[in-house]
Chain A
Amino acid sequence: MTFNRRRFIQATGAGAAALVMPTIAQSQTGPIRVGLMTVKTGPLASGGIDMERALVQYLKERNTTLAGRKVDLFVGDSGGVPAQARTKIQELVERDKIQVMIGPLATAEALAADDYIRQAQLLTLSVAAAEDMTQRKPNPWFTRGTSTSSQCSMPLADYSHKTLKMRRMAVIADDIAYGHEMCAGFMRVFEENGGKVVQRMFPPLTVPDYGTYLAQLKTDIDGIFLGFAGSNGFRYLRQFNEYGLRGKVTPIGGMTALDEAVLRNMGDEALGIVTSCWYSAEIENAINKKFAANFRVDWSYDPGFYAAATYVEAAVLEATLNALKGNIEDKPSFMKTVRNIKVDTARGPVSFDRYGNVVGNIYIRKVERKDGRLVNRVIHTYPDVSQFWTYKPEEFLKNPVYSRDWPPAKNLES
C-alpha cells in the first residue's frame, strides 16, 4: 500500500480529530470495551474462572455484539488479593480503556477498589456482596445484580422457621465480613420470627480443621446454619459426617455453602440439605435452561453462583445498552438507566433499588440426585426480594450494618 498525500491527510486528520474529541470519535461506532475483573489464580480461582467462562459464553451467543456494537473483552486477574485487584482495575481502565467493568469477585476486593471506582467514575456491575456498598455508603457507580451477603440468608431464616419448623439453631460462618453479615441477617429474621440462635461460631477463614468446632456443637438443637464460602462448606460437611453428626443435627446453608461448584465433587453426605441462593442451575425458565445446557456442553458441569453471576450481569448490561441504543459513553445516563431497568435473566426477573442493589427472586433449594449428579432443586421461591427483606429501607438503614456485634445475640447458651 502506497502512502500518498491524500491518505496521509485522511490519517492525520482522523488522528487529530480523535485527539481533540476522543469521546465523539469513539462514540456509537467503535466497539464497547468491557472489562472483567476476576480471579484466575489462587484459592478463589474456581469461581473466577467460571465467571470468565459464562461471560464469554454470553457474548458468543450474541456474536460478541451488544446493542448493535461489537464488544471487546479485557480480563484482569487479581489472584484474590485486594491490593492487586485495585491495581488491575486501574490497568484495565487506563491501559485497556474499558468503559464498563463486571466484577470484582470478592467483597474485600470491591472495598479496596471503592475509591478508585468513584474517582474514575467507572461503571461497575459487581458480584461482591459487601452490604454497605449499596446501603449506608452507596457508591454511585456501583450496581450489583447478584445479592448482598444477607439477601439470601434472611429468606432462609424465614423458611427454616415457618416451613422446616426449626426453633433452636446454631450458626457457623467464616470469620470475614461476608460470614458475619450473612449470619447477622439470618439471626435477626430467625429470632424476630420467634426462634432462638443458641450457639454461634466464627472459625478463621483458613482454619486447618473443624474438629474442635464440631466437638463444641450442641446436639440439642434443630439445625445449624452454614455461612461458608469457597471450599469450606464442603470440608465442614465432610467432617460433620466423620464425627457422626449426620442425623443428629440438620445443616442448612447460605448461598455459597453448597454451590454447584462444590456439589460436583461431593457424595451422599450432601443429599437433602436445604440452602438458599438467588440462583440454581435447576431454575425452570427458558433463559436458564439454555444457559445451563450450553454451559454443560462446553464444560461438562453445571453452572453455579459465579458463572450465573456474570451471565446475569451481562444480561443487565445488554438490556441497559439496548435502552440507550448502545450509547455507553454517557455515564450518568447509563447509571440512571441501569437502576431503572427490568430484565429477564437466567435467575428470573431482575430490577434494582435506588441504592443500586438487585431486587429479584431468592430460591430455597434442596440437594438431590438427578441423572447421576447432585443438583440444587428449587423447592420454594421468594419472589422479588430486596436487600432490605421485608423491612422499610429507611428503618433498615438506621441500624448499624450487619456484623459480629449487630444485631446482638441475646440467646446464646454457653
Chain B
Amino acid sequence: MPYWIIQTLNSLALGGLLFLLAAGFSLIFGLMRIANLTHGSLYMLGAYVGISVLKYVPNLWLAAIIGGVIMAVFGGLVERLILRALAGNALGQVLVTLGISFIIADLCLMVWGGDPIPVPTPPALQQPILVGGVTFPTYRLVVLAIAVVTALALYLLMDRTRIGAMIRAGVDDMQMARAVGIPVSRLFTAVFCLGAALAGAGGIIGGPIMSAYPGLDADMLPLALIVVMLGGVGSLLGAFVGSFLIGAIYTFGTALLPDLAYVILFLPMIVVIAFRPTGLFGRQSV
C-alpha cells in the first residue's frame, strides 16, 4: 500500500513539473500556430541561467523569478528579431526554432561545460517527509504546489483579464481577431515572452530534481509535445489535465509494464489523436 501512495505522489509531482514545461508551449502553439522547438532549450537555458544567478542570489525562488525574467527578455528578442522576419511562413518558423535550439545547446556547452551541474535543493526542503507512513521528498510536493498555483494564476490571466480574452480570441480565430482590432502581433510577442518565462522558471524549479546537463533540452521537448498533443493545442485546461495524465501514465506504466517504458508515453497520444485530432480539450481553430 505505501508503494502505491509513493507512486501516486510521484505521478502528481511529475505532472506538476510537466505542467510548468508544457503550459507555455501550449499557449505559443495555440496562438502562433507553430510548434516552438526551442521550448526544451528555453527550459535548459533557464536551468543554467538559474545556476549562475544562484551564485549571486542564494535563494532558489528568487533565482527562478530572475531567471524567468531573463528568459522572457530572451524569448521576446527571438520573437521580434527572428520569428517576425518569417511571419506567415509557419514551416520556416518551425525550422528556425529548431536551428535556435541547436545554437542554444552549443552555447550552453561553451559557457557551462559538458558536465551535469546540480541545482541545490533549498535547505529547509532537503529532508524527506512522512506522508501516511511513507517517506517522500518534500521538494517534489512543493513543485506540485507551485504548479497548481501557476495553473490558477494562468487561468485567472486567461479567463478574467482583457489580455487573456484577446489571446483566446487569437487562438480561436485569428483573422476575426485582427479584424476587430486586436493587436495580434503584439500578442505574439507577449505570449512568446510568457512561454519563455514559464519554461525558464520551470527549468530552475525543476533543477533540484533534474539538474542541468547537455541534452536536457532534447529530453524535455518531446514531453511538452506529448502533453500538448494529448491535452489540446492552446488550451490551458488541456495542458493541465494532459500533464497530470502523462505523469500518471508514465509513473504507473513504467512501474507495471517496465518493458513498455518507451511506448507508454506515446500510446495514449496516438489513441487520442486518432479519435480526437484536436486533443482532449482543443477546439477546432478557424
Contacts and interface: CB of A to CB of B under 8 A. Distances in A.
Interface of A: 41-49, 175, 201-204, 206-209, 211-213, 215-216, 230-231, 234-235, 238-239, 242-244, 261-262, 264-267
Contacts of B105: 41-42
B211 A238 contact: yes
B137 A264 contact: no
Contacts of A243: 128, 135-137
B4 to A, nearest CB: 9
B164 interface: no
Contacts of B117: 265
Given A46-B113, A211-B14, A211-B140, A235 B261 contact: no
Contacts of B10: 209, 211-212, 215
A231 B215 CA distance: 10
Interface stretch (B74-82, B178-186, B237-245, B250-258): B250-258
14 contacts: A45-B214, A206-B215, A208-B210, A208-B220, A209-B209, A212-B251, A234-B118, A234-B211, A235-B210, A238-B118, A242-B128, A243-B135, A244-B127, A262-B116
A262 B117 CA distance: 8
A231 B216 CA distance: 10
Nearest to B121: A242
A204 B214 contact: no
Interface in B196-253: 208-211, 213-215, 218-220, 223, 250-251
Given A42-B214, A45-B109, 8 more contacts: A41-B106, A45-B114, A46-B113, A203-B261, A208-B14, A211-B13, A211-B251, A231-B115
Contacts of A42: 105, 214-215
Nearest to B138: A242
A208 B13 contact: no
B115 A46 contact: yes
A212 B209 CA distance: 13
Given A211-B251, A215-B6, A201 B258 contact: yes
A212 B250 contact: yes
B139 interface: yes
A267 B119 CA distance: 11
A212 B135 contact: no
B262 interface: yes
Given A41-B109, A206-B218, A262-B116, A239 B136 contact: no
B255 A216 contact: yes
B109 to A, nearest CB: 6
Residue of A49, A215, A230 with most chain B CB atoms under a 10 A cut-off = A215
B150 interface: no
Interface string B2-16: 010011001101100
A262 B113 CA distance: 12
Contacts of B13: 211
B211 A231 contact: yes
Given A42-B214, A234-B211, A239-B209, A204 B258 contact: no
Contacts of A211: 10, 13-14, 140, 251
B115 A208 contact: no
Range for the number of chain B residues in contact with chain A: 35 or more
Contacts of A267: 118
Nearest to B250: A212
A44 B118 CA distance: 17
A265 B113 CA distance: 12
Contacts of B211: 231, 234-235, 238
Contacts of A41: 105-106, 109
Q: Which of B116, B139, B209 is the most central at the interface, judged by chain A CB atoms within 10 Å of its CB?
A: B116
Contact of A265 (B3, B11, B115, B254): B115
Contacts of A175: 261
A45 B112 CA distance: 12
Given A234-B116, A244-B135, A204 B262 contact: yes
A213 B210 contact: no
Contacts of B128: 242-244
A327 to B, nearest CB: 37
A266 B114 CA distance: 14
* Nearest 7 pairs of A and B residues by beta carbon: A46-B114, A43-B215, A231-B116, A244-B128, A242-B137, A45-B114, A215-B6
A43 B255 contact: no
A202 B258 contact: yes
A92 to B, nearest CB: 21
Interface in B237-286: 250-251, 254-255, 258, 261-262
Nearest to A234: B116
Interface in B97-135: 105-106, 109, 113-118, 121, 127-128, 135
Residue among B7, B115, B223 with the highest chain A CB neighbour number at 10 A: B115
A215 B214 contact: no
A209 B113 contact: no
Interface string B82-98: 00000000000000000
A219 to B, nearest CB: 11
Contacts of B136: 243
A204 B13 CA distance: 19
B250 A265 contact: no
A42 B105 CA distance: 7
B116 A235 contact: yes
Residue among A207, A231, A234, A243 with most chain B CB within 10 A:
A231
A231 B213 contact: yes
A354 B209 CA distance: 46
Contacts of B250: 208, 212
B260 to A, nearest CB: 11
A204 B118 contact: no
A8 B258 CA distance: 73
Contacts of A239: 137, 209
Contacts of A45: 109, 114, 214
Nearest to A39: B114
A291 to B, nearest CB: 20
